[in-house]
Amino acid sequence: MLNSVDDYIYDSYYDEPTDSYYSNSGYQENVVDFALGIGSGVKLLTKRGFIVEIDAGIGRNLFKNDRSFTIIGKGGINLGYRF
């Protein structure tokens, strides 16, 4: 799975002589990575032709594992009509 997330990074530091914490303004970094994992789903078909698909999966990022979001999930519900 190809995934993308916006990461907000805030830099802060402690100044010992003044006994104060300082923080710089955060910035946004767009991180794109590939994940490998497993998934499962089900497709339901009624006699009148309506279709419902439900799927879910979980994976782990392959390349940028130094971030806090190494586990990625996905899910979906699809509705349709078969004619």
pLDDT tens sequence across 2-21: 888 777 766 777 878 888 87
CB contact at 8 A, 35 and 59: yes
More confident residue, 31 or 76: 76
More confident residue, 23 or 71: 71
